[in-house]
Amino acid sequence: MPDGARDANPFGAEALTTTSTSRETDTATITVTLNGREIRLEPGVPEAIPSEAGAPTTVRDVPNSQVPSSSEPQTLEYLLDAFGFSPASSATAVNGTFVARNDRAGYILADGDTIEVLTARQGG
């Protein structure tokens, strides 16, 4: 019945890619790990880098209006929004600790954070 350990994390990571580092970084740029992939969060940087399948894959795909200014903190809510995760069907943890849905807006990400965004899947 149960699926156990061998199928751990078989879903989802394929669409996340590491961003390039072509831009000049500034002091507000942080590097975090999202679902096993390292990404750079650069405030106010709208650069679309579509994946091969045409689906947005990085934070740079976010339209200008959705990207916070450099003076705004990069929160967990911002990250979910930027990557198009459904807030209601996602559960989050940062550095191995659960972060509740209502706390995402106030959770400011720091350089080196490891974020997991999980959702519902079949299970045994």
Partner 1 sequence: MTRHPIQTTNLTPDPLVVYGQELPSRLFLGTALYPSPQIMSDAVQAASAGLVTVSLRREAARGKVGERFLELIRGLGIDVLPNTAGCRTAKDAITTAMMARELFATDWIKLEVIANDDTLQPDVFGLVEAAETLNKEGFKVFPYTTEDLGVADRLLNAGCEVLMPWGAPIGTGRGLANPYALASMRAYHPSVPLVIDAGIGAPSHAAQAMELGYDAVLLNTAVAKAADPVVMARAFAQTIEAGRAAYTAGLMEMRDMAQPSTPVAGTPFFDFPSEPASQDLQPSLDKRPNG
Residues 95, 100, 104, CA angle at the centre, nearest 5°?
Answer: 80
Asked if residue 105 binds partner 1 (CB under 8 A), the reply is no
- Closest Cα partner for 85 from 59, 111, 114, 113? 59
Asked if residue 65 binds partner 1 (CB under 8 A), the reply is no
CA distance 2 to 84: 30
Asked if residue 48 binds partner 1 (CB under 8 A), the reply is no
Asked if residue 118 binds partner 1 (CB under 8 A), the reply is yes
For partner 1, the closer of residues 30 and 115 by Cβ is: 115
Question: Which residues contribute to the site for partner 1 (CB under 8 A)?
Answer: 1-16, 35-36, 55-58, 83-86, 88-93, 96-98, 100-101, 116-124
